[in-house]
A and B are shown apart, each in its own frame.
Chain A
Amino acid sequence: MQIVVIGLNHRTAPVSLREKVSFDKDAQKTALLRMKDTRSLFETVLVSTCNRTEIYTLTTSTKAARDFVIRLLAQHSGLATEEIKDTLYTFEGPQAVQHAMEVACGLDSIVLGETQILGQVKEAVALAAEIGTIGSFLKQMFRYVVEVGKRAQSETMIGQAPVSVASAAIQLAEKIYGSLRGRSALILGAGTMARIAAEHLSAHGVSQLYIANRTLTNAEELVRRVEAKIVPWEQLQHFVGRVDVVVAATGAGRPIITENMWTSIRTGRHGRQTLLLDLAIPRNIDSSLSGHSDVFLYDVDDLQQVVDVNMEERRRQTRVVREMIDSSLLEFDEWISSLSVVPVITAIREKGVQIQSDVMESLKRKLPHLSEKEIQILQKHTMSIVNQLLRDPIHAMKDMAVQSDPAFSPEALAQLFGIEFISQPHPEREMLTSYKMSEFMGKWRSLMAEKMSGSTVGSSVYRS
Chain B
Amino acid sequence: MATRAVIDSTMFFYALSLFFYFMDVLESKRIFNRLAVVLLFMVFIGETSLLIARFIQLQSAPVYSRFDNLLLISWLILVVALVVDTFYRVGLFIFFANLVAFSFVIFASFGPFSPGIIPHGRPDLLIFHISLALVSYVFFSVAFVFSVMYLVQYHLLRKKSFNHWFLRLPGLEHSSRTARWCNRVGFTLLLISSLLGFLWGKIVLNLWIWDSPTPMATLVLLLFYALTFWLEIRRSLPLHVLHRLYVVCFMVLLINFLLIGRFGGYH
**Which of B58-66, B133-141, B153-161, B190-198 is the contact stretch?**
B153-161
Verify A306–B162 contact, CB threshold 8 A: yes
A296-B157, A320-B29 known; A270 vs B173 contact (CB < 8 Å): no
A310 partner residues in chain B, CB cutoff 8 A: 167
Given contacts A176-B172, A271-B237, A320-B29, contact A157 B167 (CB under 8 A): yes
Is B267 part of the binding interface, using a Cβ–Cβ cutoff of 8 Å? no
- Tell me if B166 counts as interface (CB < 8 A to partner A): yes
Asked if A454 lies at the interface with its beta carbon under 8 angstroms from chain B, I say: no
Cβ of B167: which chain A residues have Cβ within 8 Å of it? Answer: 157, 161, 309-310, 313
Number of interface residues of B (CB under 8 A): 25
Beta-carbon contacts under 8 Å, A216-270 to B? 270
Complex Cα–Cα for A237 and B27 (A): 46
Q: How far is the CA of A21 from the CA of B167 in the complex (A)?
A: 39
Who on chain B is nearest to A323 by CB? B30
How many residue pairs link A and B with beta carbons under 8 A? The number is: 63
Beta-carbon contact of B171 and A319 below 8 Å: no
Report the bound CA distance from A305 to B31 in whole Å. 29
Report the bound CA distance from A309 to B177 in whole Å: 27
Chain A's nearest CB lies how many Å from the CB of B162?
4
Across-interface contacts of B164 in A (CB, < 8 A) = 309, 313, 316
> Which of B162, B171, B235, B236 contacts A309 (CB under 8 A)?
B162
A177 to B166, CA, bound (A): 14
Complex: chain B residue closest to A322, CB-CB: B30
A320-B29, A323-B30 in contact; A296/B158 too (CB < 8 A)? yes
Give the contacts of A273-301 with B (CB-CB under 8 A). Answer: 273, 293-294, 296, 298
User: Does any Cβ of B come within 8 Å of A368's Cβ?
Assistant: no
Is B163's CB within 8 Å of the partner chain A? yes
A175 to B166, CA, bound (A): 9
Q: Are A273 and B174 in contact (CB under 8 A)?
A: no
B235 touching A178, Cβ below 8 Å? no
* Closest-CB distance, A26 to chain B (whole angstroms): 42
Q: A293's contact among B153, B160, B163, B238, by CB below 8 Å, is which?
A: B238
- For B236, what are the chain A residues with a Cβ–Cβ distance below 8 Å? 271
* Contact pick for A271, options B28, B30, B31, B238, CB 8 Å: B238
Q: Which single residue of chain A is at the shortest CB-CB distance from B160?
A: A302
Residue from the set A175, A293, A306 with the largest chain B CB neighbour count within 10 Å: A175
Interface: B184 (CB within 8 A):
no
Complex Cα–Cα for A366 and B44 (A): 63
Task: Determine if B239 is an interface residue (Cβ-Cβ < 8 Å).
Answer: yes
From A161, A178, A296, A319, name the one whose CB has the most chain B CB atoms within 10 angstroms.
A178
Which residue from chain B places its CB closest to the CB of A174 in the assembled complex? B171
> Nearest B residue to A271 by beta-carbon distance?
B238
Please report the C-alpha to C-alpha distance between residue A302 and residue B171 in the assembled complex, in whole angstroms.
18
**Least Cβ–Cβ distance between A40 and chain B, in angstroms:** 40
Q: Given A309-B162, A313-B164, do A294 and B238 touch, yes or no (CB 8 Å)? A: yes
- Report yes or no: B237 in contact with A176, Cβ–Cβ below 8 A: no
A324 to B30, CA, bound (A): 9
**Cα distance A324–B173 in the bound complex, in angstroms:** 33
Number of interface residues of A (CB under 8 A): 27
Whether B240 is near chain A, meaning CB under 8 Å from some CB there, is yes
Q: Are B28 and A316 in contact (CB under 8 A)?
A: yes
CA distance A420 to B7 in the complex (A): 60
A178/B174 contact (C-beta < 8 A), A293-B238, A310-B167, A320-B28 known: yes
Determine if A298 and B160 form an interchain contact, defined as CB atoms under 8 angstroms apart: yes
What per-residue 1/0 map shows which CB atoms of B3-46 lie under 8 Å from chain A?
00000000000000000000000011111000000000000000
Tell me the nearest residue of chain A to B174, going by C-beta: A178
> Is A271's CB under 8 angstroms from B239's CB?
yes
Is the C-beta of A98 less than 8 angstroms from some C-beta in chain B?
no
Within 8 Å of chain B (Cβ to Cβ): is A202? no
On whether the beta carbons of B153 and A175 are closer than 8 Å, the reply is yes
Q: Which residue of B lies closest to A306 (CB)?
A: B162
Determine the chain B residues whose CB is within 8 A of the CB of A305 once the complex forms.
160, 162
Question: From residue B35, how far is it (CB to closest CB) to chain A in Å?
Answer: 13
For residue A438, CB closer than 8 A to chain B, the reply is no
CB < 8 Å: which of B28, B157, B163, B238 contacts A175?
B157
- Closest residue of chain B to A157 (Cβ to Cβ) is B167
Asked if A87 lies at the interface with its beta carbon under 8 angstroms from chain B, I say no
A360 to B88, CA, bound (A): 58
When each residue 413-437 of chain A gets 1 if its CB lies under 8 Å from chain B and 0 otherwise, what string results?
Answer: 0000000000000000000000000
**Cross-chain contact A177 with B30 (CB below 8 angstroms):** no
Closest to B241 in A: A293
Which B residues are CB-close (under 8 A) to A323?
29-31
Instruction: Report the bound CA distance from A317 to B29 in whole Å.
Output: 8
C-alpha gap A341/B66 in the complex (Å): 60
Looking at A273, A296, A306, A324, which has the most chain B CB atoms within 10 Å of its CB?
A: A273
**Residues A319 and B29 in contact, CB atoms below 8 Å apart:** yes
| Chain B residue nearest in CB terms to A296 | B157
Question: Which residues of the other chain, B, contact A175 by a CB distance below 8 angstroms?
Answer: 153, 157, 166, 171-172
Q: In whole angstroms, how far apart are the Cα atoms of A323 and B174 in the complex?
A: 32
Cβ of B243 to closest chain A Cβ, rounded Å? 12
Contact status A176-B173, CB under 8 Å: yes
Q: A177 to B177, alpha carbons, bound, how many Å?
A: 11
- In the assembled complex, the Cα of A294 lies from the Cα of B29 at a distance in Å of 36
> What would 27 A/B residue contacts be, using CB atoms closer than 8 Å?
A157-B167, A174-B171, A175-B166, A175-B171, A176-B157, A176-B172, A177-B171, A177-B173, A178-B172, A178-B173, A178-B174, A271-B235, A271-B236, A271-B238, A271-B239, A273-B172, A293-B158, A293-B238, A296-B157, A302-B160, A309-B163, A310-B167, A313-B167, A316-B27, A316-B28, A319-B29, A320-B30
Which residues does B use to contact A, with CB under 8 Å? 27-31, 153, 157-158, 160, 162-164, 166-167, 171-174, 177, 235-240
Given contacts A305-B160, A320-B29, 8 further A-B contacts (CB under 8 A): A175-B172, A177-B171, A177-B172, A178-B173, A178-B174, A305-B162, A309-B166, A323-B31
A-B interface, 3 closest residue pairs, ranked by CB to CB distance from nearest:
A178-B173, A309-B162, A271-B238
Chain A contact residues, CB within 8 Å of chain B: 157, 161, 172, 174-178, 270-271, 273, 293-294, 296, 298, 302, 305-306, 309-310, 313, 316-317, 319-320, 323-324
